[in-house]
Structure formats: C-alpha cells, structure tokens
C-alpha cells in the first residue's frame, strides 16, 4: 500500500489545476503516492490538459457536475493510500507540506486528520483553516455578526477561532475542505463525505463524524498552502451564497436536535435564513444600483419642479399616484434603450430614454384626465431628469479622466471598467489580448480567450498568458461566471452566420460585441471606435436585436398579417375551391437551429408564382415562427442562425432574386438588413415584393 493518495476535484479551473499539480508533483518527491483528479464535466479543456501534461494522474471523468462531496467519494473509493489528502485545485502547496503533515500523523497516532496554515494570495490568513463546529451558539454569533465585531474574545470568536494565535499548533473541531489530510483507518470508521451537502458544509460534517468516532483533529502552522478561494464556485452556474446558508442549516438540523441548546433551533434557523436573505438582497441592490440612483434623482426632479411651479410642496400628496406612474414609465423607457443592461453609463442613451419617457408621459395627459395634472410640472421634471440622469453618468465618465483627482478618477475607472473576453484562440486573438492587457490606464479588464471549437482548448498553450476559458458553445457559462460585459471578436475568427447567432445570445446575456476592423462595409454596426495601439475596435451592433425594435417588428408582423388575411380572403377561397391547388408541408430552418413546418400552395406539383405560394404561411407569422420580412427559405438545419432573424414571406434577398446572388452577396444583404432595420424598411421591402408578383 502506498503512503499517500492526493485527491482533487476540478470544475473549469484548468489554469489553477495545472499550477496546483505542478506544485503537488514537486512536494511529493520521495513519497510513495498517487494523484487522483475527478473532473466534474469541465468545459474549459481541463481533461485535454491533464491527458497531455499529466498522464500519470488517475483521471475520473464525470458527465455532469456531481458536486464536491460525491466527486471526492468517487476518488476515496479508488484511492489505495494509507493516508488520503483532499486538496482544492485552486491551491499551491509548499515543498514540505505533505512530508510535514505525514510526519505529524506518524508522531500522533490519536490524530485522525490534520490541516495546515492556509493563506490568501495576499499572504493573509484564511480563517476557515481552523474552526469550531457551528453549534447553535457558535452559528448564532456567526450569522448575527458578533464574531466579526468581537473576534478576539473566546465567547464570540469561536467560529474561526480568531482569539487563537495563528502560529500556534492547536487541536481544533474542524479544518478547511481545501486541505484535509486523514488516516485511511479514520476515514473507514467515520465514513465518506455526506453527499446531501452539494458544496459547503461537507467538510464540517466530516470533521464532526471523525470527532464522534474518537479521533482528534489538529491544525499545524509550520507549513502552509496558498488558496485562491472560490475559483470553482465562480465558474459554477449555481448560487454559492445560497448553498452556503443551506449547508449551515442542514448541518444544524442533522447534528443538533430540538432543545439541544439555550438558543432555540427555530430561532437559529431563522437567523441563518435571514443572513442569507440579507446577502441576496445586498447583491440585488448592487445590481440595480444605477436604477436606484435614477429613481432618487427623479424624486428630486419632481420636488424641484413642484417648487418651481408652485413655490411650495402643498400639492405633493396630489402627485403621489402621478409620480408612481410617470416614474415607472421613465424607468421602463431607460430600460428599453439599454441603459440598465448594456449602456449603464452612456450619456446619449440616458438622454434618449428620458426623452422617450417624456413623450409617453406628456401623451398620457391627453388620454387620461385623472393624470392631467400640471403639464408645466411634467415638462420641468423631464428637463431636470435630462440634466440629472444624463449628468451623473457624464460625471462618472469625466471622473475617469481626472488625473489631478486620483480618488474620483479611480472611482470613475472602476465603474467604467469592462470585463472583456476575446473570441478566438489564434495568433491574432492572442496579440489583441496582450495589447489590451499591456495598454496603460486601460478601461478593459481582459479575462481571457474563448476558443471557437473544443480543439482550441486542447491546442491552447500552458501557462497563464492569454488563458483559454472555454469554447464558444460554452459562452453562457463563461459570461455569467466571469461577469463578462464585452466580447471582442478577433479577425477571421467567426463566419457571418455565427456572428448573427451571437447577437441574439448577447442580448439575452447583456453582452456587448466589438470587432477588430475588417470588411468595414459589412460588419460594423456603429461608428464608436477605440484603439489599442494600431488595432481599432468597433462596436458591433445590429439594430434588429436591440431596444424596442424586436417589439415593433412583432407588432408590424401581427398588424400586416391580419390585414393580409382580410384582403386575401378571396384568394384563400379560390385556392380552397380550385381542384388543382393543394397545400404542401415544408420543413424550414427557423433561424435558431430548429425546424419550422410551413404550408405552401402548389398547382400540378409546381409552386405558385411569387409570394402567393407562401400565403398559407401567414399563420406561421401570426404564431411567431416566421416574419413577414426575413431570411430566404432554407431547408431545416441550414441558413443564418439568430432568433431575431426568422425566415420571411419576403426579404432583401428574395426581392433581389433575379440577380442570382452568390452566397457571399446574400450574407451582405442579410447583414445590411440587420444593421439598418426599421419598420419603414420592412414596409418598403413588402411593397417591392408586391410589384414583383
């Protein structure tokens, strides 16, 4: 039997895993050992990296994220060492870490588990490396914040033992799951990790069961590891804070029965969930902070408008309902122009949103007498909103350019700083990555690269220079886990078809796209340009996907389709009575990767002329599967992908069909339509289609 089995559970932290394994390999020199890695369905190329760089590692691949406890149990069943060590993949171990822990266990046969000092990357102590069990009292001091207020007192500081000297060896209740070395004999007695704990809490539960079996748990400070805390949680799609409080409540419910303590368990559980709710709403408030700032300024604008109009606030109570309705309209207008998702600090978007809301609010007074209060107040409030809502955003942008006021300048740069990924993994993408990273006083925080295919993950070079975060098919997870705000598309990285598909996904994720200039007449959506040395970055924005345009297009489709059904009733009647006309079902690409069944009219096996053959498909337009104006009809599985660009009864390509367009020309026509969409353009295309009939 070998001396030590080292177990790591990995989930999308390839860069950290690689460095961890290199440090583990060095620390295991001279020790008979094995290293087992359980991969929880990573999509960042971790498995390919392991096979290429660490062929001696025992690899267990899961097809889904099995959670920390279950994955460790898989490895524990496979491990053959007299001692096992559970260690996180986002750690770096010192060369003497394993040898000192093994030596300690050899000299202390009563100790079943040992942990070392764990440091944050900045060198500070990670408090979780030595803990007490969350008994009702200890948990109460934690969730109420008493442990943070009085960390040096034994009464309140027991959760993280903050009253103890961190350089002093101690017998403790529990150690951190990021590094736990345990005797195999003790593991067999205590059992494996409890898989009811998906993440968090399973280490405390395991330690509790070790102590119940009579084993001691020790903390030794004379060796240490560095732990880049929370990297796997950051990559996950689940809510880490929610899981933490669920784990704490599960631990209390499992190990401390009712009436066990002077602190009622029901009160403790309420405290746990109250603390969890506070954390949730704190994050929610941070997310909606710009809207809350706008709301405050709107109230200030109304108060100022009332003072200007009347000289007092006696009429304030009369405007409460008006204030609610008008404020909601203004907030909705700002959201419609993208202020709260994509252009938070855009002065022009804020002005456009306020103007849109002002037009809506002034119109209300003509249709609803109950809201017909002083138009003077509404106009003054609208003017003040223009100044204040646009002004505070402009102030933030100006603050980032104030070298003489470093504090304000830092605030401005922090608020404006964008987290960016580069789409592409080739030499040009890496060059852009390095140029953005090396640009002085940049407002870009470049996270890494996104490969076009899984092959890019396997071919990615090792190290942390231009890291590849995952493949394009995994864009949703990458954007959400890394809080990405902008994606830069490298030259030649994507076809036009994939770019169109990304635009819809970008709208869903609140993600901006920019592109390194190439084929400017086709791809570029607006004139906003930044430069990284000699490489210009241009906004990539297709009008059809943003603002009110999707809504307007749908309304246009419904209105015109209803009109067509009324006007074309004689044609439908003629087709129903004509013995030679029959409806034929056709499967088309629906523009989002799926299939759409539509009906067309044929006579003697040949389609009718023009778009009359597609009149039966008007029903698909009404149901939302098609649009009046869209892409040409293509067989299922083909065509331009993008949920906002559906097949149409007609379109730019269709009305230009007599020119026998090449595929490249068709793509240019489609992209022109996406960039320049308006309901007037749709109307123009429909009129042209009628004349071609």
DSSP line for 547-607: TTHHHHHHHHHHHHHHHHHHHTHHHHHHHHH-TTEEEEEEEEE-SSSSEEEEEEEEETTEE
pLDDT of 607 strictly over 80: no
Q: Which tens digits make up the pLDDT trace of 679-691?
A: 788 888 888 777 6
C-beta separation of 423 from 472 below 8 A: yes
For the chain, state the CA radius of gyration: 32
Q: Is 106 exposed, middle or buried (0-12, 13-18, 19+ CB in 10 A)?
A: exposed
Determine, yes or no, domain membership for 530.
Answer: yes
Residues 6+ apart with CB under 8 A from 348: none
Which tokens sit at 200?
A: 């968090």
Question: Does residue 395 sit in the same domain as residue 431?
Answer: no
Those residues with Cβ within 8 angstroms of residue 205's Cβ, 6 or more apart along the chain or in another chain: 193, 194, 197, 251, 254, 255
CATH classification at residue 105: 3.90.550.10
Contact between 203 and 175 under an 8 Å Cβ cutoff? The reply is yes
User: In this structure, is residue 517 part of a structural domain?
Assistant: yes
Residues 46/264, Cβ–Cβ less than 8 Å: no
Give domain status of residue 412, yes or no: no
Residues 577 and 501 in one domain: no
Q: The dihedral of CA 69, 73, 75, 76: what is its sign?
A: positive
Is there a contact between 21 and 90 (Cβ–Cβ < 8 Å)? no
Domain count, the chain: 4
334 closest CA partner among 379, 296, 389: 389
Give me the helices (H) in 288-345, please: 289-310, 320-336
The token pair at 304 is: 């100022």
Q: Which residue has the higher pLDDT, 272 or 291?
A: 291
- What is 476-511 written as a DSSP string? HHHHHHHT--EEEEPTTSS-HHHHHHHHHHHHHHT-
For residues 218 and 174, what is the distance between their CA atoms, to the nearest angstrom? 8
At 199, which helix (H) or strand (E)?
Answer: none
Distance CA 347, CA 351 (A): 6
Extract the tokens encoding 462. 């090792």
CA distance 529 to 537: 6
All residues at 6 or more sequence positions from 231 whose CB lies less than 8 Å from its CB, including other chains: 13, 16, 89, 90
Which of these, 79, 9, 86, 77, lies nearest to 42 by C-alpha position? Answer: 9
Question: If we measure between CA atoms, which residue out of 1, 306, 355, 361 comes closest to residue 183?
Answer: 1
* CB contact at 8 A, 149 and 254: no
The angle formed by the CA atoms of residues 140, 145 and 150, to the nearest 5 degrees, is 100
Res 294 pLDDT > 90: yes
Say what percent of the chain tops pLDDT 90: 23
Q: Which of 193-197, 461-465, 606-610 has the largest mean confidence? A: 193-197
If asked whether residues 517 and 620 sit together in one domain, one would say no
pLDDT tens, position by position, 502-554 = 776 776 777 878 877 554 333 333 434 454 444 556 666 677 777 678 888 88
pLDDT number for residue 389: 93
pLDDT of residue 56: 95
- Which of 169-178, 250-259, 546-555 bottoms out in mean pLDDT, i.e. has the lowest? 250-259
CB 682, CB 556: distance < 8 Å: yes
411 falls within a domain: no
Segment 305-324 mean pLDDT:
79
Cα 679 from chain centroid (whole Å): 32
Check residues 217 and 590 and name the one with the higher pLDDT: 217
Residue of higher predicted confidence among 229 and 109 = 109
CA angle 59, 60, 64 (to 5 degrees): 135
Q: Which of 151-155, 197-201, 242-246, 402-406 has the highest average model confidence (pLDDT)? A: 151-155
Whether 322 is in a domain gets the answer yes
Task: Tell me, yes or no, whether 69 and 216 share the same domain.
Answer: yes
472 belongs to a structural domain: yes
- Domain end: 518, 541, 564, which one? 541
Task: Kindly state whether residue 273 falls inside one of the protein's structural domains.
Answer: no
254-270 mean pLDDT: 56
In the chain, % of residues over pLDDT 70: 77
Q: Is the residue at 628 inside a domain?
A: yes
pLDDT confidence of residue 331: 92
Nearest-angstrom CA–CA distance, 688 and 690: 5
pLDDT at 527: 37
Q: What is the pLDDT of residue 504?
A: 67
CATH of the domain at 480: 3.40.50.720
**pLDDT at residue 191, as a whole number:** 93
CB proximity list for 361: less than 8 A, separation 6 or greater: 326, 329, 330, 378, 382
Does residue 235 or residue 613 have the better pLDDT? 613
Q: How confident is the model at residue 103 (pLDDT cuts 50, 70, 90)?
A: very high
Domain end call among 236, 257, 273: 236
My answer on whether 520 and 428 are in the same domain is yes
Judge if 462 and 428 occupy the same domain. yes
Nearest Cα residue to 385 out of 409, 361, 369: 361
Higher-pLDDT residue of 154 and 641 is 154
CA distance 421 to 439: 15
Per residue in 424-456, pLDDT tens?
A: 888 888 888 887 777 655 677 888 888 887 777
Is pLDDT at 279 greater than 80 in this prediction?
Answer: no
**Residues 531, 570: one domain?**
no
Task: Indicate if 487 and 614 belong to the same structural domain.
Answer: no
Distances (CA, A) of 647 to 558, 613, 626, 684, 693: 15, 15, 5, 17, 19
In this predicted model, what pLDDT tens digit does every residue of 18-50 receive, in sequence order? 989 999 999 999 999 999 999 998 888 889 899
Mean pLDDT rounded to a whole number for the chain: 79
Nearest to 58 by CA among 80, 41, 42: 80
pLDDT band (50, 70, 90) for residue 602: confident
pLDDT for position 203: 86
Residues 38 and 182 in one domain: yes
pLDDT band at 300 (very low <50, low <70, confident <90, very high): very high
Q: Do 395 and 424 reside in the same domain of the chain?
A: no
294's tokens: 């706008």
Do 483 and 592 belong to one domain?
A: no
Instruction: Identify the domain boundary among 195, 213, 236.
Output: 236
- Segment among 174-183, 272-281, 351-360, 672-681 with least mean pLDDT: 272-281
Give me the numbers of helices (H) and strands (E) for the chain, helices first please: 27, 21
The residue written with tokens 């870009």 in the block is: 444
Angle among Cα 533, 535, 539 to the nearest 5 degrees reads 120
pLDDT category at 278 given cuts 50, 70, 90 is low
**pLDDT by residue (tens digit) across 556-585?**
888 888 888 888 888 888 877 777 787 888
Running DSSP on this structure, what letter comes out for residue 263? S
> Long-range contacts for 563-566 (Cβ within 8 Å, ≥24 apart)?
564/615, 564/618, 565/618
In a 13 Å sphere around the CA of 539, the CA atoms on its Cβ side amount to: 13
Domain of residue 327, residue span? 291-399
Dump pLDDT digits (tens) for 316-331: 777 777 788 889 999 9
pLDDT of 640 over the 60 cut: no
pLDDT of residue 188: 94
Instruction: Determine the distance from the C-alpha atom of residue 345 to the mean position of all C-alpha atoms in its chain, rounded to a whole number.
Output: 20
472 and 588 share one domain: no
């Amino acid at each position: 039997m070998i001396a030590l089995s080292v177990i790591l559970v990995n989930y999308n932290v390839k860069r950290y895993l690689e460095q961890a394994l290199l440090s583990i390999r060095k620390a295991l020199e001279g020790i008979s050992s094995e290293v087992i890695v359980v991969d929880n369905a990573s999509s960042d190329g971790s498995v390919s990296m392991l096979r290429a760089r660490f062929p001696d590692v025992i690899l267990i691949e899961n097809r889904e994220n099995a959670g920390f406890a279950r994955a460790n149990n898989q490895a524990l069943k496979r491990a053959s060492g007299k001692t096992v060590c559970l260690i996180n993949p986002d750690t770096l171990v010192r060369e003497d870490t394993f040898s000192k822990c093994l030596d300690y266990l050899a000299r202390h046969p009563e100790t079943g588990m040992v942990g070392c000092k764990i440091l944050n990357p900045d060198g500070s102590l990670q408090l979780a490396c030595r803990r007490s069990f969350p008994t009702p009292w200890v948990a109460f001091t934690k969730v109420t914040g008493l442990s943070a207020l009085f960390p040096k007192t034994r009464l309140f500081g027991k959760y993280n033992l903050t009253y103890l000297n961190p350089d002093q060896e101690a017998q403790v209740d529990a150690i951190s799951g990021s590094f736990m070395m345990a005797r195999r004999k003790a593991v067999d007695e205590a059992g494996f990790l409890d898989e009811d704990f998906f993440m968090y809490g399973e280490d405390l539960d395991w330690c509790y069961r070790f102590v119940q079996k009579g084993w001691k748990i020790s903390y030794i400070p004379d060796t240490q590891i560095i732990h880049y805390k929370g990297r796997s949680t950051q990559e996950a799609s689940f809510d880490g804070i929610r899981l933490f409080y669920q784990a704490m409540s599960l631990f209390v419910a499992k190990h401390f029965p009712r009436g066990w303590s002077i602190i009622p368990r029901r009160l403790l559980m309420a405290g746990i969930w109250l603390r969890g709710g506070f954390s949730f709403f704190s994050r929610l408030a941070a997310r909606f902070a710009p809207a809350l700032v706008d709301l405050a300024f709107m109230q200030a604008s109304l108060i100022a408008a009332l003072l200007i109009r009347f000289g007092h606030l006696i009429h304030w109570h009369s405007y409460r309902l008006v204030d609610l309705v008008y404020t909601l309209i203004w907030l909705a207008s700002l959201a419609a122009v993208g202020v709260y998702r994509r252009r938070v600090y855009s002065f022009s978007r804020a002005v456009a949103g306020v103007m849109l809301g002002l037009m809506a609010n002034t119109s209300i007074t003509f249709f609803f007498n109950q809201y017909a209060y002083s138009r003077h107040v509404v106009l003054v409030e609208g003017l003040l909103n223009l100044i204040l809502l646009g002004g505070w955003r402009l102030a933030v942008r100006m603050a980032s350019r104030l070298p003489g006021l470093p504090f304000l300048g830092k605030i401005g740069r922090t608020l404006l700083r964008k987290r960016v990924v580069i789409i592409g993994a080739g030499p040009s993408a890496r060059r852009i990555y390095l140029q953005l990273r090396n640009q002085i006083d940049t407002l870009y925080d470049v996270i890494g690269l996104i490969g076009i295919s899984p092959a890019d993950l396997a071919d990615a070079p090792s190290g942390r220079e231009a890291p590849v975060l995952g493949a394009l098919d995994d864009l949703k997870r990458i954007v959400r886990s890394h809080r990405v705000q902008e994606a830069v598309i490298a030259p030649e990285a994507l076809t036009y078809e994939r770019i169109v598909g990304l635009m819809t996904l970008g709208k869903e994720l609140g993600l901006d796209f920019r592109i390194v200039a190439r084929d400017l007449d086709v791809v570029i959506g607006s004139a906003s340009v930044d430069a990284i040395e000699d490489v210009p970055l241009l906004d990539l924005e297709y009008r059809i996907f943003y603002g009110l345009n999707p809504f307007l297009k749908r309304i246009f489709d419904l209105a015109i389709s209803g009109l067509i059904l009324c006007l074309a009733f004689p044609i439908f009647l003629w087709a129903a009575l004509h013995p030679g006309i029959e409806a034929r079902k056709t499967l088309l690409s629906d523009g989002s990767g799926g299939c759409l069944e539509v009906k067309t009219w044929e006579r003697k096996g040949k389609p009718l002329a023009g778009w009359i053959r597609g009149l039966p498909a008007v029903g698909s337009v009404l149901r939302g599967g098609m649009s009046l104006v869209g892409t040409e009809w293509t067989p299922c599985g083909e065509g331009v992908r993008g949920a906002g660009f559906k097949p149409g009864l007609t379109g730019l390509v269709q009305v230009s069909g007599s020119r026998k367009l090449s595929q490249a020309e068709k793509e240019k026509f489609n992209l022109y339509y996406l960039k320049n969409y308006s309901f007037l353009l749709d109307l123009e295309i429909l009129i042209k289609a009628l004349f071609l009939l």
